[in-house]
């Protein structure tokens, strides 16, 4: 039997032995390996991409699926040798360098978010990326783990010289006057966080079309998780990468059960359609996928597997 790299990765991943991805699995507790998840560089044709971690945070397993029972979710996680009392959410930001432009995708939760986040600046430094070189910032959506880092510790816009870009539907939904009083009480803080973060920006460029925002990088509508959630497709010399934001949250849940509805999906029906759209794009066109909350660095291929999908994560070298 000849073991291909893909077979080995599949094996490691399915058995949970792909060890930098999770703080614990089965009865093994991994030590602090955070030095392995600062940044990850690869290229898409002529475009250089660096995944930069803003850190990670835990979420309760009740956040994984509101249309599956707790027992069902727990036993599914156990099948994958994952902890059954929480799910770890990495934050894989992307820096895309093309021609004279440097585009950052999402800014992360910054130091005001919970968990072990707020690592963006430190990890940009380790990746040898000067924060002043960032010319554009694209926001996939306005949830706090993606935008709260807009304000630095002095309460100022962290990238004041950059052009911020996001979907018009997204921006207008969150910033609609009196929105905070139209949502449930438990959701009000999330609205306030979004408004507070977006109001730090003097200007935002808004689009509602599949716009090319820097050469070789297009927006694509993947709404549902939030009203105007958008993803990006990066393409160069026949190679393509899809940066899916929160359209897919974790390879072992969203890809196995695309119809599971995460607690934070604001329009569940639309979000399922967007999840399936992303999965069919990456499988049919053999695009590389980058998942914001996937185990670091969140980069890999997706293949169909029966009625669901399987993620084949990258190793350090392809």
- In the complex with Zn ion, the residue whose CB is nearer, 97 or 145, is 145
Report, in Å, the least distance between residue 140 CB and Zn ion: 8
> Per CB under 5 A, which region of 79-87, 144-152, 223-231, 294-302 contacts Zn ion?
144-152
Task: Measure the CA–CA gap between 151 and 54, rounded to whole angstroms.
Answer: 14
Task: Measure the CA–CA gap between 136 and 145, rounded to whole angstroms.
Answer: 19
> Per CB under 5 A, which region of 104-112, 142-150, 208-216, 228-236 contacts Zn ion?
142-150
Helix, strand or coil, per DSSP, at residue 23? coil
- In the complex with Zn ion, the residue whose CB is nearer, 170 or 246, is 246
**CA 119 from chain center: how many Å?**
15
Report, in Å, the least distance between residue 293 CB and Zn ion: 6
| The CA-based dihedral angle spanning residues 99, 108, 128, 40, taken in that order and rounded to the nearest 10 degrees | -90
Distances (CA, A) of 146 to 37, 78, 153: 18, 29, 16
Report, in Å, the least distance between residue 49 CB and Zn ion: 19
> Per CB under 5 A, which region of 22-30, 65-73, 80-88, 244-252 contacts Zn ion?
244-252
- In the complex with Zn ion, the residue whose CB is nearer, 54 or 145, is 145
Binding of residue 265 to Zn ion (CB under 5 A):
no
Kindly identify the residues of this chain, within the stretch 50-89, that bind Zn ion according to CB under 5 A.
none
Report, in Å, the least distance between residue 202 CB and Zn ion: 25
> Kind of pairing, strands 288-290 and 239-243?
parallel
Q: Strands, E, within 169-258: which ranges?
A: 205-207, 212-214, 217-221, 230-236, 239-243
Task: Measure the CA–CA gap between 102 and 69, rounded to whole angstroms.
Answer: 44
Report, in Å, the least distance between residue 229 CB and Zn ion: 10
- In the complex with Zn ion, the residue whose CB is nearer, 48 or 116, is 116
Report, in Å, the least distance between residue 35 CB and Zn ion: 24
> Per CB under 5 A, which region of 28-36, 141-149, 213-221, 280-288 contacts Zn ion?
141-149
Phi-psi group of 252: left, alpha or beta (phi > 0 → left; psi -120 to 50 → alpha; rest → beta): alpha
- In the complex with Zn ion, the residue whose CB is nearer, 86 or 101, is 86
Number of residues engaging Zn ion in binding (CB under 5 A): 2
Task: Measure the CA–CA gap between 11 and 4, rounded to whole angstroms.
Answer: 11
Interacting residue with Zn ion among 246, 251, 275, 287 (CB under 5 A): 246
Binding of residue 170 to Zn ion (CB under 5 A):
no
Report helix, strand and coil shares of the chain as percent, to nearest 5: 30, 30, 40
- In the complex with Zn ion, the residue whose CB is nearer, 90 or 145, is 145
Report, in Å, the least distance between residue 141 CB and Zn ion: 8
* Rg, C-alpha atoms of the chain: 19
Interacting residue with Zn ion among 145, 163, 170, 265 (CB under 5 A): 145
Residues contributing to the site for Zn ion (CB under 5 A)? 145, 246
């Amino acid at each position: 039997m000849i073991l291909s790299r893909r077979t080995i990765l599949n094996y490691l991943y399915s058995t949970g032995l792909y060890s930098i991805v999770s703080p614990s699995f089965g009865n093994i507790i991994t030590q602090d390996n955070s030095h392995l998840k600062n940044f990850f560089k690869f290229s898409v044709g002529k475009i250089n991409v660096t995944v930069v971690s803003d850190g990670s945070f835990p979420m309760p397993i009740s956040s994984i699926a509101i249309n599956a029972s707790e027992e069902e979710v727990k036993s599914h996680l156990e099948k994958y040798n994952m902890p059954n009392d929480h799910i770890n959410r990495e934050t894989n930001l992307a820096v895309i360098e093309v021609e004279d432009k440097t585009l950052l995708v999402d800014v992360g939760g910054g130091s005001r978010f919970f968990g072990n986040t707020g690592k963006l600046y430190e990890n940009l430094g380790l990746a040898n990326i000067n924060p002043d070189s960032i010319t554009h910032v694209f926001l996939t959506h306005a949830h706090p783990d993606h935008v709260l880092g807009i304000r630095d510790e002095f309460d100022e816009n962290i990238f004041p010289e950059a052009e911020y870009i996001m979907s018009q539907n997204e921006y207008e939904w969150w910033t609609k006057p009196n929105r905070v009083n139209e949502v449930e009480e438990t959701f009000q803080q999330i609205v306030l966080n979004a408004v507070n973060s977006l109001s730090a920006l003097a200007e935002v460029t808004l689009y509602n079309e599949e716009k090319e925002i820097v050469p070789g990088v297009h927006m694509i509508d993947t709404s549902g998780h939030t009203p105007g959630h958008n993803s990006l497709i990066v393409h160069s010399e026949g190679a393509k990468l899809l940066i899916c934001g929160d359209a897919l949250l974790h390879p072992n849940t969203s890809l196995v059960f695309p119809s599971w509805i995460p607690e934070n999906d604001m329009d569940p029906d639309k979000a399922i359609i967007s999840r399936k759209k992303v999965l069919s794009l990456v499988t049919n066109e053999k695009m590389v996928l980058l998942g914001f909350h996937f185990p670091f660095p969140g980069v890999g291929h997706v293949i169909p597997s029966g009625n669901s999908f399987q993620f084949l994560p990258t190793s350090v070298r392809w």
